[in-house]
Amino acid sequence: MTSPAQPDSLAAIAALPQADLKSIFTADPDRLSKLVLTQGPIRFDWSKTHMTDDLLSGFLALAEEQGFAARRDALFAGEPVNNTEGRAAEHPAERGEGNPDSVARAKALHARMRALIDAIEAEALGPIRHILHIGIGGSALGPDLIVDALGGDNLRYDVAIVSNVDGTALERAIRDFDPHATLIAVASKTFTTTETMLNAASAINWMVEAGVEDPYGKVIALTASPDKAIAWGVDETRILPFAESVGGRYSLWSSIGFPAALALGWDAFESLLEGAAAMDRHFRLSDPKENAPLIAAFVDQYYTRIAGCETRALFAYDERLKLLPSYLQQLEMESNGKSVTRDGEPVDGPTAPITWGGVGTDAQHAVFQLLHQGTVLTPVEFIASIEPGHTLDPAHHRALLVNCFAQGAALLRGKENPSDPARAYPGNRPSTTILLDDVTPEALGALIAFYEHRTFANAVLLGINPFDQFGVELGKEIAKSIEAEGPKGFDPSTMALIGLALGE
Ligand code: F6P
């Protein structure tokens, strides 16, 4: 099979002169006005990246060549943009943006979720103090992020989110929970995922052993497969469905967000949706030159396809956002970690970089050595909030932000030291800073929607489908076949491991 030729505009971008960050501001005094954009509660600063006017024009041409505007319109119209599975990708409809029929359906399902939440608050399921949310991947990472970021002291219930099939996770989560006062939310789009179904069954057993009279009466199912939830034992009245066209890693806005809506309150959940909707409108309506997700995708494309960076790192300089890197790992790598185009042709060049990261300032004392002096170039993204998440001495927040900004400056500026190379810093290392007014539901909703659309924009520029994830299937199939038929015909290493650890 021959590789498709790279788009002409990408070749033109590759031929452009590369800027040096140390002199980039003197070369263009207007740089901040062009590469800093404020959208609602978020300020995006790409000025410390290698983006120049010429690169921007080149990427705008690439976007046009790849039919960006039409593809974006197709996404919002509810067309089957997930072509390999013949489906739409309707997460924006959950926020009230998109195809009117899908928006109406999402609103009705949200009303159903709200009614059930009201009933739970009125103790229709008995007194509830703990929420045990069981799900994995997109059915866990989103709710976990939201509850952790916005919860703090405001949580109205204890919330445990259990994903791993390792029983240690469930055992630890329920250690301090009273089984008589626990609500189990089983979150699974397909309602067949092995880990989730095994954890859910064990949670039911835990209740049975504790003498809970009607354990299934304490289960809420969050799913796009209500029939399977009914067959498993959940009463229809406690099933909160969502549309098949909402992808797993894009599903926190649907009933998958149930633990957040219950524990934080409906107003907070609604504000999260409104924040995301504002970002939807920005992405859909604003000029490409001022479109935050699109510009961020241009920067991503530059580093991955032109500068050859294989990873991108992001550091949340805010404890409330400590789960953001894990959330974005799934969003970006499961979406764009592909090797073929929408039409099944091999992609010519790299697609998604590896997303990794952590929390500042902790990461400074662990991995930043490589960022400053290592031999690989890694574009860094800093995410911080002007307002703190605590009431302690303001010195804490000042130190946090000072450190965040100092790191960006150090990466850019570097430091010469001809007499002592071990103490020299090359500089010219790029970073983006995303500054939130505060970590509010609106801002978090907008931030997550920004990342979703940036991921989509990257996919359009690459010509790939970001909405399928066939890469995760083979390992699952093999695990199932071992469970069903025992180990047969694997390589000697796998056979030996199974023999040693499982005695088979
Ligand atoms: O294995 C990957 C995956 O399909 C993710 O895309 C998804 O978020 C996760 O598993 C969980 O799937 P489900 O919600 O169907 O249990």
Catalytic hit among 334, 381, 442, 452: 334
Q: Is the domain 99-264 a CATH 3.30.479.10 member?
A: no
**Tokens at residue 475, please?**
């390992």
For 16-32, give the DSSP string: SPPP-HHHHHHH-TTHH
Q: Do 195 and 164 contact (CB within 8 A), yes or no?
A: yes
DSSP assignment letter at 487: S
CA of 138 to the centre of ligand 1 (A): 6
Q: Write out residues with Cβ below 6 Å of ligand 1.
A: 136-139, 188-190, 193, 196, 248-249, 334, 469, 472
Give the atom of ligand 1 at the shortest distance from the alpha carbon of 187.
14
Tell whether omega for the bond before 361 is within 30 degrees of 0, i.e. cis.
yes
Catalytic hit among 289, 396, 476, 480: 476
Q: 3-state SS of 373-396?
A: HCCCCCCEEEEEECCCCCCCCCHH
DSSP assignment letter at 331: I
Residue with tokens 């070369």: 27
CA of 225 to the centre of ligand 1 (A): 13
Task: Look up 133 and say whether it is catalytic.
Answer: no
Give, for 354, the enclosing helix (H) or strand (E): strand 354-359
Ligand 1: which of 82, 84, 136 to mutate, judged by most atoms within 8 Å of the beta carbon? 136
Cβ count near 376 (within 10 Å): 10
**Beta-carbon-side half-sphere exposure of residue 180 (alpha carbons within 13 Å):** 4
Catalytic hit among 123, 365, 483, 485: 365
3-state helix, strand, coil in the chain (%, to 5): 55, 10, 35
Look up the pTM and report it: 0.97
Question: What's CA 65's distance to the chain center, in Å?
Answer: 27
Q: Where are the alpha helices (DSSP H) in 91-140?
A: 91-94, 100-121
- The residue whose CA has the least distance to atom 10 of ligand 1 is 137
State phi, psi for 385 to the nearest 5 degrees.
Answer: -125, 140
CA of 467 to the centre of ligand 1 (A): 12
Burial class of residue 161 (count of CB atoms within 10 Å of its CB; 0-12, 13-18, 19+) = buried
Ligand 1: which of 91, 144, 189, 327 to mutate, judged by most atoms within 8 Å of the beta carbon? 189
Contacts of 41 (CB under 8 A, 6+ apart): 275, 436, 437, 438, 440, 442, 443, 446
Give the atom of ligand 1 at the shortest distance from the alpha carbon of 190.
15
Distances (CA, A) of 164 to 140, 225, 275, 371, 466: 10, 21, 30, 31, 25
Residue with tokens 């940036």: 454
CA of 137 to the centre of ligand 1 (A): 5
Burial class of residue 415 (count of CB atoms within 10 Å of its CB; 0-12, 13-18, 19+) = exposed
Give the atom of ligand 1 at the shortest distance from the alpha carbon of 473.
1
> Which conformational region is residue 488 in: left (phi greater than 0), alpha (psi within -120 to 50 degrees), or beta?
beta
| 380/428 Cα distance (integer angstroms) | 12
Task: Look up 130 and say whether it is catalytic.
Answer: no
Ligand 1: which of 133, 139, 480 to mutate, judged by most atoms within 8 Å of the beta carbon? 139
Please give the chain's pLDDT, 504 residues, in tens. 334 557 889 999 999 998 899 889 998 999 999 999 999 999 999 999 999 999 999 999 999 999 999 999 999 999 999 999 999 999 999 999 999 999 999 999 999 999 999 999 999 999 999 999 999 999 999 999 999 999 988 899 999 999 999 999 999 999 999 999 999 999 999 999 999 999 999 999 999 999 999 999 999 999 999 999 999 999 999 999 999 999 999 999 999 999 999 999 999 999 999 999 999 999 999 999 999 999 999 999 999 999 999 999 999 999 999 999 999 999 999 999 999 999 999 999 999 999 999 999 999 999 999 999 999 999 999 999 999 999 999 999 999 999 999 999 999 999 999 999 999 999 999 999 999 999 999 999 999 999 999 999 999 999 999 999 999 999 999 999 999 988 889 999 999 999 999 988
CA of 143 to the centre of ligand 1 (A): 14
- The 3-state DSSP class for residue 293 equals helix
CATH 3.40.50.10490 domain locations along the chain: 35-86+273-468, 99-264
Task: Supply the pLDDT for residue 152.
Answer: 84
| 125/212 Cα distance (integer angstroms) | 12
DSSP assignment letter at 306: I
- The residue whose CA has the least distance to atom 8 of ligand 1 is 138
Q: Which of 346, 387, 388, 380 is nearest to 363 (CA)?
A: 380
DSSP assignment letter at 503: -
Task: Supply the pLDDT for residue 18.
Answer: 87
Task: Look up 504 and say whether it is catalytic.
Answer: no
For 186-210, give the DSSP string: EE-SSS--HHHHHHHHHHHHHHHHT
Q: Is the domain 35-86+273-468 a CATH 3.40.50.10490 member?
A: yes
Q: Do 251 and 189 contact (CB within 8 A), yes or no?
A: yes
- The residue whose CA has the least distance to atom 16 of ligand 1 is 188
CA of 224 to the centre of ligand 1 (A): 12
| 12/314 Cα distance (integer angstroms) | 29
Q: Which of 476, 493, 501 is nearest to 136 (CA)?
A: 476
Task: Supply the pLDDT for residue 54.
Answer: 95
Give the atom of ligand 1 at the shortest distance from the alpha carbon of 195.
16
CA of 140 to the centre of ligand 1 (A): 9
Task: Supply the pLDDT for residue 5.
Answer: 58
| 239/227 Cα distance (integer angstroms) | 10
Residue with tokens 């901040």: 32
Residue with tokens 């699109």: 294
Give, for 350, the enclosing helix (H) or strand (E): none
